[in-house]
Amino acid sequence: MGDKNGFIKIRLSENLPDKYTLSCNCLLKKAERQLKEKPYILGISAYEKIARELPKWKKKFSEEDYRKTLISITEYMGKVPKVPNQIMGVKEADIPYCANYDILAVIIHELGLAYKQDNWIKSAELFNKCGKNIETIVTCVVQYCCNDVHRIDELPNLFL
């Protein structure tokens, strides 16, 4: 993706790897980015930081800032960055809020079946579980902001 006046040129090698080799390489790079690189504001590190810091926010922030902070967390858990419709007062179906773990799970599961890789199939199950946790996190925030239902204390465990 680029800006409206930009373009991206992709040049493919004449000797492309087979689908299995390409899958292995891509999954390895994805795992390395998620597990080895530790930027403090992304990936696993961010989830751990939120789990550790979130219980302190209620005392640290005003009610309005606390609410805004919770809402900002949900914004980046959807298929595209946006605040959930219910929080915005929109009464229509919304995008899934599972941080795209569902899509990754489907891809890994299909590849696992195709190449008889049980560990990939098990990984897909874990990504599905993570996606469900993210959906629960967003639901808790929506309920807190819209229905005054207090389940925020569940969030740290869900992030971990």
> Residue 69 above 70 pLDDT?
yes
Residue 141 and residue 70 in contact, taking contact as beta carbons nearer than 8 Å: yes
pLDDT mean over 61-70: 94
According to the model, what pLDDT value does residue 93 have?
Answer: 92
SS3 of residue 149 by DSSP: coil
pTM, 2 dp: 0.77
Half-sphere exposure of 104 (CA within 13 A, CB side): 18
What is the spatial distance between Cα 74 and Cα 72, in angstroms, rounded to a whole number?
Answer: 5
- 118-147 vs 101-114: helix axis angle to the nearest 10? 160
Whole-number pLDDT of residue 60: 95
**Beta strand ranges found along 51-132 (DSSP E):** none
Percentage of the chain beyond pLDDT 70 is 90
Specify the DSSP element, H or E, that contains 144.
helix 118-147
CA–CA gap between residue 107 and residue 59 (Å, rounded):
42
pLDDT value of residue 89: 93
The vertex-86 CA angle with 126 and 124, nearest 5°, equals 10
Comparing 155 with 40, the larger pLDDT belongs to 155
Radius of gyration over alpha carbons of the chain, in Å? 19
Per-residue pLDDT reduced to its tens digit, 9-27? 778 888 888 989 989 998 8
Determine the pLDDT at residue 46: 81
Measured between alpha carbons, how far is residue 89 from residues 5, 66, 67, 98, 109 in Å?
34, 19, 15, 21, 36
Tokens of residue 157, six digits: 């465990």
Per-residue model confidence (pLDDT) at position 37: 55
